[in-house]
């Protein structure tokens, strides 16, 4: 088994040292199971993120550090990482460790012949959130409910970056969003293509270091536009069922 772990970063100089400390034991456990490919995409950071990535991870033979000249947002960073990934499984993870990196090991154990994607799910009945502002939680859960109704996908969380894919999913399923909508778009497109999805109940923590890069109102508008587009597809039957 070879795992490619993609970690997008943008202006995360405060978070790189704690990230290195938290993922090191997880990386060692992954290497006990097979081969590891660690991919950092520095998405046009203007601080010392790229320098710190090189300092902490640059000496590792299993690591690729790919810089973007300009910030392209999360979707662009995901596409860069997917293009570079060569593992049998491809994982994506937040650089601020809002999900416990140790969950990667448990997510890998959830794969079976019917499962092509395992996604973290704090809104699963067995999941949870800690210290996340109530208004953000309300909006995020509302988006999840809307996706669940429109798409018919029986999961509870659609927007988590913390996720593991089979390699053939990331190589064959396209998504066009440049921003945080990308996590939902690739999930919906993969489901439409017939790939099985399984949830990993998890706990979402508030960010401890640095500043969140998500622009909430902008992302909400992106989701609203995409959901309207999906409603049109559902009415036409191209999502596999009708209202």
Asked: is 2-236 a CATH 3.40.50.720 domain? The reply is no
For residues 80 and 37, give the distance between their C-alpha atoms in angstroms, rounded to a whole number: 14
99-113 pLDDT tens trace? 999 999 999 999 999
**DSSP reduced 3-state for 4:** strand
Q: What angle do CA 79, 187, 207 make, to 5 degrees?
A: 75
Ranges of each domain in the chain: 2-236
Two structure tokens written together for 85: 């990934």
Alpha helices in the chain, H assignment, sequence order: 16-33, 49-57, 73-84, 103-109, 134-151, 167-172, 182-192, 216-236
6-10 mean pLDDT: 97
165-172 mean pLDDT: 97
- pLDDT computed for residue 243 by the predictor: 37
51-70 pLDDT tens trace? 999 999 999 999 999 999 99
For residues 162 and 26, give the distance between their C-alpha atoms in angstroms, rounded to a whole number: 14
- Under 8 Å between Cβ of 3 and 34: yes
Arithmetic mean of pLDDT over the chain: 92
118-135 mean pLDDT: 92
**DSSP reduced 3-state for 130:** strand
- 216 pLDDT exceeds 50? yes
- State the pTM of this model: 0.92
- 209 pLDDT exceeds 80? no
Select from 105, 121, 107 the least CA-distant residue to 187: 121
- Under 8 Å between Cβ of 40 and 5: no
Two structure tokens written together for 192: 């439409």
- pLDDT computed for residue 170 by the predictor: 97
Higher pLDDT, 93 or 235: 93
At residue 74, φ and ψ (nearest 5 deg) are -60, -45
Least confident of 8-22, 73-87, 180-194, 204-218: 204-218
């Amino acid at each position: 088994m070879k795992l490619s772990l993609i970690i997008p970063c943008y202006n995360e100089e405060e978070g790189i040292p704690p990230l290195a400390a938290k993922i090191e034991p997880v990386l060692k456990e992954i290497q006990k199971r097979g081969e590891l490919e660690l991919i950092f995409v520095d998405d046009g950071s203007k601080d010392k993120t790229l320098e710190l990535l090189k300092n902490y991870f640059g000496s590792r033979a299993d690591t690729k550090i790919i810089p973007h000249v300009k910030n392209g947002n999360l979707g662009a960073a995901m596409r860069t990482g997917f293009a570079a990934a060569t593992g049998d499984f491809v994982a994506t993870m937040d650089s601020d460790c809002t999900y416990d990196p140790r969950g990667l090991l448990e997510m890998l154990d959830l794969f079976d012949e019917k499962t092509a994607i395992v996604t973290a799910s704090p809104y699963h009945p067995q999941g949870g959130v800690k210290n996340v502002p109530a208004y953000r939680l309300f909006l995020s859960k509302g988006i999840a409910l809307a996706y669940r109704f429109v798409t018919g996908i029986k999961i509870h969380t659609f927007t988590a970056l913390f996720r593991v894919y089979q390699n053939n999913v990331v190589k064959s399923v396209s998504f066009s969003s440049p921003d945080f909508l990308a996590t939902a778009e690739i999930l919906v497109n993969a489901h439409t293509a017939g790939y099985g999805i399984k949830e990993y109940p998890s706990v979402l923590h508030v960010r401890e270091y640095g500043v969140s890069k998500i622009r909430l109102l902008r992302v909400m508008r992106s989701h609203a536009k995409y959901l309207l587009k999906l409603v049109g597809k559902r009415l036409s039957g191209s999502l596999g069922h009708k209202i």
